[in-house]
Every structure is written in C-alpha cells, then in structure tokens.
Amino acid sequence: MSAQATDAPVYVIGHKHPDTDSVCSAIAYAYLRQALGDTRVRPARAGDLNAETGWVLQRFGLPAPERLESAAGRQLILVDHNETAQALDDIRHASVLEVWEHHRIGDLDIPRPIVFHCEPVGATATLIAEQFLLNDVPFSPAIAGGLLAAILSDTLALSSPTTAEKDRQMVRRLAIAAGVDATLVGAELLAARGDLAARSVADLVDSDFKEFDFAGHRVGIAQVEALDVSSLVARRLEALAELARVRERRGLELVLLLVTDIGRKGSHVWSAGDHQAVVDHALGCSAGEDEAWVAGCMSRKKQVVPALEEAFAAL
C-alpha cells in the first residue's frame, strides 16, 4: 500500500451478485468519506444491478456505482462481505483497507491491522448510517433513502429475525432524513423484486405445499410469503380455482393457501373443499371482508396447524 500514489482511488465495493445493501452501503460510505475530505474514495459494484436495486437507485436519484471487473492492484474498502468466494475473483491481489460487515467472519488474509467492523445487525447499511451519526455528517435525502432501502431490503422490512434494535432506530432516523414513509418504501421495494407477479398461481401454490392429517381429515396447506402480496390478491379467483384443482388431484378434503403479508403481519386464508366454516372459525377469518384476512397469522407450523388440529378433533 505504501507504494500506491496517495491520490490513487479507493473503491468501496460489496459482494458479487450485488444486492441493495451492497450497492447502497458502498455509495453511502464513499459519500461519507468524501464529506470527511477523503476525495480518493468512490463507490463501486461487483456485478449487474438487480431489479430491486435498480428501482432503489432510481427512486432516490442515486447514480449506479462504477462496475469493477478486477480487484488487482486496487485499494478496496469492502462492505457487506468478507469472504473471498463472494468478492471479486482476484481479491487476493488487491489491498483491502477496511471492512464493514454483518456476516460471519470469512477467510480474507489481510497482513496488517485494518478497520474491520463486523456486527450482527440486519444490514451493513445500519453500520454505515451509524458512522454518519458518529462523524456528525448529515445525510442527504438521497443517501438516507438508499441506506433506508438497504436496511429494509436485508431485513424484509424489519420482519426478519435478523433485525436488531439498531436497525429499527436507523430506519426511523433515515426515513425522516429522506422524507419518506419507511413502510411504504419497504412495500414498494419488495414489490420491485417482481417475484409474485411474474409467477403463475400454480407455481405459487405448489412451491411450499404440505399435507396434514387432522383427526383423519386430509388437508393440504400451501403458503406464500411476501411483503407485497397485492399481485396475488388480485388473482384470488384464479388461486381458488387452482386450490380446487390441487384438492381434486391430491384427493384431499380441504386445501388452504396462506398468503402471508410480511409487512401487514397477517395472512389471507383461502380455501377449497369441505369444512371451510371450520377453518374460518378456527383461525378467526374475517370471512367475506378483506379476502379472508387473519391478522397476526404468520406461521403455518406455530399458528395454523395447531388450530386446525384442534378444530378437526372436535368435529
């Protein structure tokens, strides 16, 4: 490193197959370092942007970082990764100056003391945001938006078990700085992934389908979990027809589909077959209203299965 020109660029870069946390943490950390007077530091990325990240950058008016194809001879600050398998292929020929991370400690062999900040929080962006506060550097609205989006992305809008109190605190601060509603951004962000809308109802029902025997009654329960389930809710009638087909094909008495809305913390419970009134009663479905919504119902194994077991046993 001592051989490097003092004005040689320092790239802040996340992992390959970059996600929103990798990209926005790189952008924000470079911004922070520049605000502190280190004009060598610039953001980079190690691959193509995914649909969600593309949406985030456009939403908050952030330019896409430069793409680095090679790490050789570069000075790098790593964010959101510290394993060689996730880094640029020739990372061993780079000079790693710092690491900002929230994964397990990896296998990088760094032959001198560096800043290596790893903390079990929901997103690297939380740690970068904290550095703005510690260094008394104000967030621009765009930077705040990018960091906010990164935390919401990694934590599935703060619903993932990886979510730490520090993530929640940063989301509150960043939403104010960005002038946005974090809940809305979270929903838009996960919708931008485009998963549900792009998949057929048959595929959605089939991908997480389990059969149960409840006191001699054979019941199938499928589950779809997403932050924004609107594209599936809009296909409710199509889904009900699919449930009826699956019931027939598998010879079941009853088939359920839990459409779990992570953001709203509950599930739509759709069913085809016998005993639908039993289901509605057991789960507390607000039948007819809001597409059979059950507030607070998130877990098939902890909530739905025990309630149905009990209800069918009492028939």
Q: Which residues bind Mn ion (CB under 5 A)?
A: 19, 21-22, 80, 123-124, 154
Closer residue to Mn ion (CB): 80 or 261: 80
Closer residue to Mn ion (CB): 13 or 278: 13
Q: How far is CA 21 from the centre of its chain?
A: 9
Closer residue to Mn ion (CB): 81 or 217: 81
Q: How far apart are CA 32 and CA 129, in angstroms?
A: 9
Q: How far apart are CA 126 and CA 111, in angstroms?
A: 28
Smallest distance from the beta carbon of 95 to Mn ion, in angstroms?
A: 22
Smallest distance from the beta carbon of 18 to Mn ion, in angstroms?
A: 7
Smallest distance from the beta carbon of 21 to Mn ion, in angstroms?
A: 3
Smallest distance from the beta carbon of 54 to Mn ion, in angstroms?
A: 16
Closer residue to Mn ion (CB): 101 or 242: 101
Closer residue to Mn ion (CB): 80 or 195: 80
Q: Which residue in this structure is represented by tokens 């008394």?
A: 136
Smallest distance from the beta carbon of 311 to Mn ion, in angstroms?
A: 41
